Amino acid sequence: MPALFAAIVLHDVSLAWRRRGSILSSLLFFVIASSLFPLAIGPDPQQLRALAPGILWVAALLASMLSLARLFAQEHADGSLDQLLLSPHPLALLVLAKICAHWVTSGLPLLLLTPLLAQQYGLPVSSALLLSASLLIGTPVLSLIGGVGAALTLGLRGGAVLLCVLVLPLCVPVLIFGAGAGAAADAGLDAMPQLSLLGACLALSLFLCPIATAAGLRISME
């Protein structure tokens, strides 16, 4: 089972690596979106610094939505999803492997880029790193919740927009705790409560979301 899990993650990551363009374009979206806010709000450094954690979190949330629709679409189109459903191994674990691979290719680059983008907003390095830490705990939750939405909207007309409509309201707690951790760190307060709550969200969704995603895939493929 661990070998199968690793094989699925490696397979998906290498497939994504061969189509680097889509990873790059969602990263580019993240960079552009977070650069638009100073243009709209104004260049006042004080104000920008106060808004930075929230803006970067919202931009990361939207950027991770972009790649969600691709989570099962390719496998659905070429029929390998049927093979996955027929496998004797628990579907929830196979799905978890795919979600892990999705996070490595979509969430991880975002959080590596965040300290750099935080410089646009004049965040000090320590709070920028803490913001990255909150993204490190938070973005897996986004991928996990997004997996449920991707399974439910598999193969539907206008599925990508519908996916955002379904998933974004469910991501509200992650956004609140994540941006809250960044803001608390910048205000010189202890960010641990928010990070702990994010960790609790991660633990809960790590347990529930793969099961729900597996059930959703079975419903969609019936």
Partner 1 sequence: MNDLADALQSDRATATGTARRWLAFASARRFDPLAGRLAPWFFAAALLLLAAGLYVGFRVAPTDAQQGEVYRIIFIHVPAAWMSMFIYLVMAGYSALALVFHTRLSSMMASALAPTGALFTVIALASGALWGQPTWGTWWVWDARLTSELILLFLYLGYMALEAAIDEPRRAERACALLALVGSLNVPVIYFSVQWWNTLHQGASVSFTTAPSMAATMLAGMLLMTLASWMYTIAVALVRVRCILRERGVLAPTDGSRSGSWAG
Binding site residues, partner 1, CB under 8 A = 148, 152-153, 156-159, 162, 165-166, 168-170, 172-173, 176-177, 180, 197, 201, 204, 208, 212, 215-216, 219-220, 222
Residue with smaller CB distance to partner 1, 105 or 134: 134
For partner 1, the closer CB: 16 or 198: 198
Nearer to partner 1 among residue 53 and residue 159 (C-beta) = 159
CB of 202 to partner 1, least distance (A): 12
Minimum CB separation from partner 1 for residue 168, in Å? 8
The residues near 89 (Cβ < 8 Å, ≥ 6 apart) are: 1, 4
Minimum separation from the CB atom of position 194 to partner 1 (A): 9
Smallest gap, in angstroms, from Cβ of residue 198 to partner 1?
10
Q: How far is the CB of 219 from partner 1 (least distance, A)?
A: 4
